[in-house]
Structure 1
Amino acid sequence: MELRRILAVDDEPFNLEIIEEILEDLDFELATAASGPECLEMVEAYNPQVILLDVSMPQMNGYEVCKALKANPNTSHIVVMFVSARGSVEERMEGYSVGAEDYIVKPFGHTELKSKLMNLNKLLEEKASLTQQIEDATNTAFSAMATSSEMGQIVNFIEQIGEIEDVNELAHALLRCLENFGLSSNLEFRIDDERRHYASSGVCSPIVIELFDILKGKGRLHEFTNRILVNYPVISLLILNMPTDDPDKRGRIRDHICFIVSVTEQQLRAILTRCRLLDQQRNLNDAIAMIHTKFHGMVTLLDKNRKENESVFKELQEEFENRIPTMGLDEDQEVFIFSKLDTSIQRSIAREGAIQDVKGAFKEIESDLALLAQHVNN
């Protein structure tokens, strides 16, 4: 469903003129209302897809108007974006608690408002394309709840995620588990410097992503109206439709959610640890292969040098044996020269023994590295 109709509500005509000016070059139908009661009077007839709703207005403030819109089945589907001169955490949480999808702080520029509307347009399109899927998922969830106990669902989930090795697959398994409890949810995974967002019905709205960022370090549980946000170090989960008419069931579901998120967090950490170990294993195997290649290169070079030395000494020995008798030397001189030659040859043989020692040392190092790689692989 492409965004076409917008209703802007503000008691200051100047603010409405600014919005009209910003949106005049976009293909939107824009209607305006100067008060909360006027908005409620005209909204069903005009049927806007998005309402830009000022917070501070006389008679009815924006929060009261939003509550009335969300309480009316004919208008509860309309996307509300609050427009306010104040943007504290408390006000944003108040806006979200009454059902708003986004929040923009005055004064805002052309680009910021257009960007926010484009994001809401994407949200509308996702909601429209997934309506049938949501209905099917809801029917499946209630059917599953009718045939399986809550603890059975939890046990099945724990058994299932033990076999999962992919982060995205784990996120979708968690959402499916919550759907089996009839819960609609938004989810954030924090992996190093990356944030991944998932939703049981399409995509997370901008205000949900802001809430995750603002509240991730501010306590384990945050409850407002029929919503609950659960924080763990690398996972945040927002439930959108906690039961409100049965306090016992609400408390039981809250405990289930905390346990399920805790288990999911441990599995997520296990997956990330396995990924890091696999990377380390690959790096170690690459290093071992490189060392093996270099060792064999060095041994080959040593063998080559040894053979060249043997060849040189053999040629030298043959030349001495042929020429010394013709040089007119006395016996002592010949013995002295042959003794020196023999000593040099013996030293060469000793060097060959050293080469064998080096080869043995290299083999020991390679054996140790192979044992280390086997230990890592296991």
Structure 2
Amino acid sequence: MALTKILAVDDEPFNLEIIEEILESLDFELKVATSGPECLDMVEEYMPQVILLDVSMPQMNGYEVCKNLKSNPNTAHIIVMFVSARGTVEERMEGYSVGAEDYIVKPFGHNELKSKLNNLSQVLREKESLEKQVEAATSTAFNAMANSSEMGQIVNYVENIGFINDPQTLGKALVSCLQSFDLQSNVEFRYDNNIDHFALHGVCSPIVIELFEMLKNKGRLHEFSHRILVNYEFISLLILNMPDHDPDKHGRIRDHACFIVSVTEQQLRAILTKQMLESQQEKLNSVASAVHSKFHGLISLLNDNRKNNEKVFKQLQEDLEVRIPTMGLDEDQEIFIYKKVDETIQKSIAREESVQQVKAAFAEIEQDLSLLLKS
């Protein structure tokens, strides 16, 4: 479902005019409201897909309007993007705590707003296409866990991830595990210059991604409203619906979440290490194959040289046996020539022994390479 209907809410007519001007060239249906109560009066009838909601308004500020929208089952699904002159971490966290999906800081440019709306349009399309698939997958993935204790679910999860060999499957397994505790969660993996996001419905909202980026280096644990953010070096986890009504369960879930992220990070490290070793093994195999080919090429060349030498000496001996008796040499001269030829042949035999030593050395090197590859 592409984004087509937008409601802009701001008590300043000038700001609404700017938004109308920016969206004029886009294929969006736009309606405006000048106050929070007016927004709530018209929203169910108009039913926009996205609300651009000003934070600072009289009578009812944007946070209050958003709470009303998200508490109403008929409007809870509508994406809310806050529009504010301030964009601190605290303000963004406050916006997210009341249920907003995105945040834009005034003054903003034409391209910035268009880009954010295009991203939200993509989020709507992906949610629609993935929702049924994810619901079907998550209902069966951890069926055994659903009937066991919390610790039993964790033990099953730890055992299962030991068989996972890629980060994508691991991220999906983590989200499914948390769903078995009735927890809605978003996850970020950071590894090898990659950033992957996982959520119950397939995609994380832009404001969640911003929170991950802003808070990933701010400590191990953050709690705000009924949400909790757990940070490790490679993994961040955001749980959206902590059980605040039950302090004991809240504490258990918080401890479970930290432990689950910890063991998941260790498995992610193991996966990355295995991938690195497999890559190195492939390179080593390639090098060993090249060395093996060159060794056999050299040995073949040495064998060819040996055969050629044998032919030369054999031909020389045959020629001498024919020619020397006809040359009129005395016996001492003939003996001298035969002696010189014999010395030359013996030197050649000595070189042949060196060739055999080279072959033996090559064989030892190949054996060492073979043992190295096996280890």
Residue number in structure 2 paired with 1:369: 369
Q: 1:91, CA displacement in angstroms?
A: 2.2
CA contact (8 A) 1:144 1:180 kept: no
Unaligned stretches of 5+ in structure 1? none
Residue equivalent to 1:325: 325
Q: CA deviation at 1:53?
A: 1.1
2:60 aligned with 1:52: no
Q: 1:187 deviation in Å?
A: 1.1
**Does the 8 Å CA contact 2:154/2:260 hold for their aligned counterparts?**
yes
- Comparing 255-264 with 92-101, greater Cα deviation is found at 92-101
Alpha-carbon distance in 2 for matches of 1:332, 1:321? 16
Amino acid at match of 1:212: F
Q: Which runs of 5 or more structure 2 residues have no equivalent in the other structure? A: none
For residues 180-232 of structure 1, give each alpha carbon's deviation from its aligned partner in whole angstroms, at most 9, with x where no partner exists: 10011111111210111111123111111111122112111111111111111
Deviation, structure 1 residue 59: 3.5
The residue type equivalent to 2:225 in the other structure is T
- Residue 159 of structure 1 corresponds to 159
CA distance 1:283–1:128, shift in 2 (3 Å) = closer
Q: Deviations over 1:326-345 (max 9, x none)?
A: 22333332222221111110
State the shift of 1:134 in Å. 7.0
Post-superposition Cα deviations, 1:266-323, rounded to whole Å, max 9, x if no partner, equal 1111111111111111221222121111111110100100111111122122222222
User: Does the C-alpha gap of structure 1 residues 261 and 146 become closer, same or farther in structure 2, counting only changes over 3 Å?
Assistant: closer
Mapping of residues 1-378 of structure 1, within 5 Å: 1-129=1-129, 147-375=147-375
Equivalent position SS for 1:219:
coil
Residues 89 and 214, structure 1, Cα contact 8 Å, conserved in 2: yes
* Secondary structure in 2 matching 1:30: strand
Q: Secondary structure at the match of 2:163?
A: coil
The TM-score normalised by the length of structure 2 is 0.93
For residues 45 and 221 of structure 2, what CA distance do their matches in structure 1 show? 40
TM-score w.r.t. structure 1 length?
Answer: 0.92
Question: Distance between the aligned counterparts of 2:163 and 2:109, measured in 1?
Answer: 49
SS where residue 25 of structure 1 aligns? coil
- Tell me the SS of whatever aligns to 2:7: strand
C-alpha distance in structure 1 between counterparts of 2:17 and 2:200, whole Å: 38
| Rounded Cα–Cα distance in structure 2 between residues aligned with 1:141 and 1:50 | 33
Percent sequence identity over aligned pairs = 71
Q: CA deviation at 1:362?
A: 0.7
**For 1:152-176, what per-residue CA distance to the aligned partner results, in whole angstroms no more than 9, with x for missing partners?**
1111111111111122211111111
Instruction: Give the whole-Å Cα distance in 1 for the aligned partners of 2:42 and 2:360.
Output: 91
Answer yes or no: is the 8 Å Cα contact 2:142–2:177 preserved in 1: no
Letter in structure 2 aligned against 1:213: E
8 Å Cα contact 1:142/1:181 also seen in 2: no
Range 32-41 or range 254-263, more displaced: 32-41
- Does the residue aligned with 1:182 lie in a helix, a strand or coil? coil
Q: 1:145 to 1:312 in 2, by over 3 A?
A: closer
1:142–1:182: 8 Å Cα contact kept in structure 2? no
Q: Which moved more, 1:187-196 or 1:83-92?
A: 83-92
User: Using the alignment, how far apart are the partners of 2:298 and 2:104 within structure 1?
Assistant: 68
Decide whether the 8 Å contact of 1:140 with 1:180 is kept in 2: no
**Pairwise CA RMSD:** 2.2
- Contact kept in structure 1, 2:146 and 2:180, CA below 8 Å: no
Contact 1:226-1:244 at 8 Å conserved across structures: yes
